[in-house]
Every structure is written in C-alpha cells, then in structure tokens.
Amino acid sequence: MQSRKITLWLNILLIVLTACESKSGEVQIPVLYNQVGYITDGTKLALVSPDVDEVVILNDKDEVALRIVPDAALFWELSGDAVRKVNFSSLGKPGEYRMVVNSEEYPFSIADKPYTELSKAALKALYFNRSGMAIDSTHGGKWARSAGHPDTVVYIHTSAADEMRPEGTILSSPLGWYDAGDYNKYVVNSGITTYTMFRALEDFSDYYTSLKIGIPDSRDGVPDLLTETLYNFRWLITMQDPNDGGVYHKLTTKKFENMIMPKDAVRDRYVVAKTTSATLDYAALMAHASKVLKSYGEDYDPLAAEALENAIKAWEWAVLNPDVLYEQPKDIETGAYDDKHINDEWFWAASELYLATGEEQYLDSAKRFYNKPGVPGWIDVRALGVYSLLDNRELISDTAWTNLLTQDFIFLADSLVALSQTAPYGVSIHVFEWGSNAQVANEGMVKLFAHKLTNNPKYLDSALSDLDYLLGRNATGYCFVTGFGKNKVMNIHHRPSAADGVQDPVPGFLVGGPNTVILTDCPDAERSLMPAKSFVDRECSYSTNEIAINWNAPLIYLLGGVDAQLCR
C-alpha cells in the first residue's frame, strides 16, 4: 500500500462532470447511522435522505421512544447528494432500538460501552498481521495460519550496498507487521504507525493497561498495546546499518506476491536503499520510545538505552546525508513511500531527540524546521513532533515558542471542528485522498489531543462524530471496520483474508475508504465518480478496500480515546 495524493482540481472536475448523474442516477441510501452502537450519554446523530419528514424510534417493546423531525436538507458536493440530520441525543436509555423511516426499520443499539470489543479487535488486527509468527487457533480462531517470512535471510539490494555490506550480503531482520495487504515492511510507514501506538498508550494509559486482547505473549502488568507495539518496534531496530547509522527504506520482495498465504510467499527479500526520510523517522521513533519504555520498569531499561543510542546514530547519519531521497530502483515494484519534502521529518526527529536528551542543539534544529502542523500522515509527520512537545511543555524553557506551538495546534483543531459543525455529513474531511478513512481517524486524533490540552468538550464531541462516520454514517453506508456493522466490508485487499478459505475477513481492520485517485483497479466494477461515494467492496480494489497498519493506528487511538473518556 502506498498513499497517493489527489489534487483538488481533479475532485472539482469530477464533481462538475457527475453532478447531474449523482442527483438522478445514483440510488441514495435512506438512512446512514453508526452501525456498531451509540454511547448512552453521548451525542447521537443519523442522516436521512431529503424525502424523509419524520423519524420514529421504537424500543424493544415496540413502543415509540422518540419522534423526530429531521433538520433541513444540506447538499454535499463531495457525495453529490443532500441529507437531513437526525439528532436523537435525548434518548439516553441503553437498549436495542429500531429507527423507522418510510416504513423501513433500521436496528441500532445504545450502550454504556459500545466500543470496547471493537477497540480490542482493531488492536488485535495487528497481531493477525505479524510477520514471522504462526497464528494459532487458541488466539486466532478460524483465522489461524502458518508462519511466513521469518526474514532471517534478507539480502542487501544493490541500492543499499556499500563497502561494509556489499550487494548480496545476508542480514537478519525478523518480526514486524506486514505493512498492509501485501507482505512487505516499510520503515517510513511503520514510523508513524508505531508512534501513534505509543501515543495512545501515553494518552490513555489507564484504559490500555486493563485492555486485554488475547495475544500469546501477553504478560501480567504489561499492557497488551505495549506488547503488540514492541513486536513491530523490535523489527524496526534491525533496519539500521550498525556500521554508519543509516536506515534502510524498506524490506521487500522485488514484486508484490500473489494473493497467497504467508507460508507460500517465498520470494527472496531485500533491504532497499538508505534514505534520509527513513533515517529521520527512525531517529524520531527511537528517541520517543526511549522515554516511553523507561516508565515500564527496569526490564525495559536496556531496550530504552539501545533505542536512544540508535536514535543519535541515525541523526548523525542524516546530518551527513541530509537529502538522500528515495528513488525506486528499476527492479523493485513494491510501495515507494517516496517523500520528497522532509523538513517535517527533520522537525519530528529533532523534537524527539531534544525531549530524550535535553540537548539544546536538537531544540535549535526543531525551531529551525518548524512550520504549522497539519493532520498527520506518513507523508507529513510534523504533528507528531508537536504532540510530543506539547505533552512535555515543562521541559522547554522557551515559553513563547511553546505558546506558538499551542496556538498553531489549537488553530488546526478548531478549523477541523468548525468544518464538522457545518458539514452536511457532520465530519471534517473535505478532500478524499488515498486512505481517506485514515484521514478521518487522524482528524479525530487531532481533536482528542486538543481535548487533552484544553478539556473543551467540543473536541471530544467532534471526534465521536468522526467515529460515527467510520462505523456507517458515511455516503457509502458501509461500516468500514471488518467484522462489525450491519453493512460489512467483506472482500478486502488483504492477502491472508483472500487466501485463507475463510469467508469472513480478518476482523478489526479499517479499510482505506472512498477516493477517486485510481478508478481502474476493478475494471468491471460499478464505481461512483463522487469522491465520498467512490468505494468498492471488492478484493481487487486496492485503492479503496485495502488495509494498512498506519490506518489502523489512528483508529486504535480514536477508539481508545472515546471509550476511555465517554463510555462508563
């Protein structure tokens, strides 16, 4: 999987070309709602089509619990349709209900803790994507499988060769998560993913300390979130060249494997090209992890010390090699993650190294590379440095600068909240790029962190609305997390799910979601040209129906934050 940016002008062109078709040619779903459940004391919002003038909610005794007149219809240019909001937040009693719209019934539930099982599944999905480990039936159920890719024999690709490690040198680089629907492992994408997991552990520590997900290496007194995260973290450690501190961009086959099980995918694997972006992402993550691990007792002290030492070595390599950008070798066809603008990586790495060491040289670099943050993604990690700095403001003597960081971050969060409050679908997303669902989840993460800083409930409420979108209140009508919802995604672009012979996909994965970046991955599929509806539940649709670790990570954060703070 690799994110590809869609330009705004293309969205606008598609909207103009298809507006008439969308209004008259596409069937609109009458009711859009959170199919997993609503929180007893939380905001409850559904959407109905413009022809609906009344919504009746029945309880499990067929009694009328509520009658609602929907709000006025609002048109969304990105979906090509209009919807009316139905706010039933006044319904505050747990139970099973049915929403009656034009004589059709739509069941839903209200519960004190409707997301705990979903939260567990989203985290456990990463366990199912472990490289080099068999998934046994005790912990994996019907998704048990044999191990694949031990990665104890990995070759130095010509692009990564040097005098100390010439082409063909064999190294060992085991563990880690498969990046997405493929079987490769990428440092750049693992960087933001692993950081987001650590961030969830720090921001909702009490919640994750008690959350057990059923993994074989679970330990008393250690959060399963930490255990699972370290499985990927320990792989990342191996991607640094110990001779010079540089970090290889990815571990991969030359071409994507077919849709087969891990044990059958036996092509040679290579580490490819050291790059500045991978090395800086590595430095940032290692420095951050060194602080996190120290809080979990002396058993983790050696790993914390190793991580900080590796972070400093990586920074030193980057200083000597400040602009080694990734260029895809001619014989490599897998994901590139080819970021051409890396000031944000410099900022993130400098920020984390300052917080880990207290050395002013790193703070000076962070200030030099700082710019206003945006919603994070693998291609823009500036917000990750801001998260860490704002979470450790007491370590920074320059209060004027920390005030600027706070102001810029709150401006971002406020902008997102303002968009969601006026948007027809009640969400902030306004450009549908590759992995649009991860954009929604990351916007929710920004809002939850703003809530942490300010305790202002508007951020928490808006983040909950983002979760509603992912769980069914979107223009496609799908619940975008596998294994959940009434209208489930079933045919994900994920090699184990495609090849295991089990009808249901591995549960807990967030699929990429609608976008119009690529419309030809499933040539025979009917595909909307409206960005918010352009989704196909087909295995072939890698552009909309693939899964990825960096998409699940913000979902895990979002679910943990909502479950920890809003659910009783």
Determine the Cα–Cα distance for residues 434 and 3; give it in Å rounded to an integer.
Answer: 5
Structure tokens given for 179: 């990046």
Residues 6+ apart with CB under 8 A from 110: 37, 38, 39, 40, 44, 91, 92, 93, 94, 95, 97
Residue 208's domain comprises: 125-391
Q: How many domains does the chain have?
A: 1
Specify the pLDDT at position 17: 37
Q: Would 354 be classed as within a structural domain?
A: yes
- Could you read off the pLDDT of 197-211 as tens digits, one per residue? 999 999 999 999 999
For 74, 112, 195, 261, the CA distances from 42, given in Å and listed in that order, are 23, 9, 29, 42
Give me the chain's average pLDDT, please.
95
Q: What is the mean pLDDT of residues 467-480?
A: 98
pLDDT interval class at 24 (50, 70, 90): very low
Q: Answer whether residue 59 is part of any domain.
A: no
- Per-residue pLDDT, 23: 46
Confidence of residue 19 (pLDDT cuts 50, 70, 90): very low
CATH of the domain at 294: 1.50.10.10
Active-site amino acid positions: 537, 546
Q: Indicate the pTM of the whole model.
A: 0.95
Q: Is residue 510 part of a domain?
A: no
Reduced to 3 DSSP states, what percent helix, strand and coil does the chain have, rounded to the nearest 5? 40, 15, 45
Residues 6+ apart with CB under 8 A from 222: 296
> What H or E segment, with its residue span, contains residue 84?
strand 81-87
For residue 27, being part of any structural domain is answered with: no
pLDDT at residue number 8: 37
- Residue 187: per-residue pLDDT: 98
> Alpha-carbon distance 464 to 453, whole Å?
17
* pLDDT at position 25: 52
Question: What pLDDT shows up at residue 27?
Answer: 74
The amino acid at residue 296 is: Y
DSSP secondary structure code for residue 319 in this structure: H
For 288-316, the pLDDT digits (tens) are 999 999 999 999 999 999 999 999 999 99
Mean pLDDT for 73-81 is 97
User: Tens digits of per-residue pLDDT, 497-510?
Assistant: 999 999 999 999 99
- What is the DSSP track for 120-134? HHHHHHHHHTBSS--
Beta bridge partners of 247: 240
Does 73 fall in a domain? no
Question: How many Cα neighbours within 13 Å face the side chain of 92?
Answer: 7
- Please say if the pLDDT value at position 225 is more than 90: yes
* Angstrom distance (rounded) from CA 459 to CA 91: 22
Look at residue 231 and tell me if it is in a domain: yes
Domain assignment present for residue 313? The answer is: yes
Q: What is the pLDDT of residue 332?
A: 98
CA distance 356 to 308: 8
pLDDT for position 302 = 98
Residues 6+ apart with CB under 8 A from 72: 84
Task: Please indicate, yes or no, if residue 360 is contained in any of the structural domains.
Answer: yes
* Rounded-to-integer distance, Cα 454 and Cα 457, Å: 9
